Amino acid sequence: MLADFLRAVGQIGDRRFRRVLFLGLILTFALLAGVYALFLGAIQILTPDSITIPWVGEVGGLDTLLSWGSLVFMIGLSVFLMVPVAAAFTGFFLDDVAQAVEDRHYPGLPPATPVPLMDQLIDSANFFGVLVALNVLALVLYAFAGPFIPVVFWGLNGFLLGREYFTLVAMRRLGRQGARELRRRHPAQVWLAGVLMAAPLSVPIVNLLIPVLGVATFTHLYHRLVGDASFRGSRNP
């Protein structure tokens, strides 16, 4: 899996990668800015201009103080927001990134069958709902996990993201049912590759690169697994 990821990183300078990365950055910043604007507006509406403290008197500027504090809070919250962002934006650029990887590393392949846009939107919406719901439930586990919170976060989201990304990449060449069957034959590798993607999603700024690198990594993983299966089949006719 690490080799797959490093090959994806090695192609980051590809023109199609840069285009998708640029669009992804704009969409990601727009979404995070929108969430922050709503959060900031709620603070300003709900916070009084001043409060009166016994023996101190009237203290003002609370909304400004909380607004600055909210910026720090949102930077931390972006670690969790980037997981659903990575999932939601996958379908928009998956074909471009996967095709760029295949053109460079797997030339001569027959054309892939693009996943219909409506299917992508339905799959992404369903997965987004599952991802959010399970992460909300995981908040209960975080309360008891203590120093192991990152492990729980990476393990859960690695499973979810690995399942989603691998299925979408494999569907281009195997169809929905074939992608599911291949994923079920290699659950450990798919999960570990997902963890490899979920871990850097926890690092602000770095996490902006992961959606693109994730698609590229799972494209390499798909072709490696299919290639291994073909090799074994040729050895055992």
CA distances from 3 to 157, 203, 217, 220 (A): 21, 21, 9, 9
Residue that is written with structure tokens 């996490």 in the block: 207
The residues, any chain, with a CB within 8 Å of residue 95's CB and separated by 6 or more, are: 112, 114, 115, 172
Residue 39 C-beta-side C-alpha neighbours within 13 Å: 18
- Between 22 and 65, the more confident residue is 22
Q: Indicate the range of 84-88, 155-159, 192-196, 208-212 predicted with least confidence.
A: 84-88
Q: Which of 24-28, 58-62, 90-94 has the lowest mean pLDDT?
A: 58-62
57 beta partners: 53
CA distance 218 to 165: 7
Identify which has the larger pLDDT, 80 or 157.
Answer: 157
The residue count for the chain: 237
pLDDT above 90 covers a percentage of the chain that reads 19
CA distance 226 to 228: 5
Task: Express each pLDDT in 109-163 by its tens digit.
Answer: 998 887 777 777 777 777 777 877 887 788 788 888 888 888 888 999 899 889 9
The residue-averaged pLDDT of 162-174 equals 90
For the question of whether the overall pTM of this predicted structure is more than 0.85, the answer is no
**Angle at alpha carbon of residue 232, lines to 229 and 237, rounded to 5°:** 115
Collapsed DSSP state (helix, strand, coil) of residue 108: coil
pLDDT(222) > 60 = yes
Dihedral angle, C-alpha 142, 203, 17, 171, nearest 10 °: -10
Residues 43, 66 contacting (CB under 8 angstroms): yes
Q: Which amino acid does the sequence have at 1?
A: M
Q: Where are the domains of the chain?
A: 2-27+78-229
Tokens of 221: 């993983």
| Tens digits of residue pLDDT in 17-59 | 888 777 777 777 777 677 667 766 665 665 545 444 444 344 3
Indicate whether 67 pLDDT > 80: no
| Residue 202 pLDDT grade (very low, low, confident, very high; cuts 50, 70, 90) | confident
Q: What is the pLDDT of residue 185?
A: 93
Taking phi over 0 as left and psi of -120 to 50 as alpha, with beta for the rest, 18 belongs to alpha
Task: Tell me the average pLDDT across 96-108.
Answer: 91
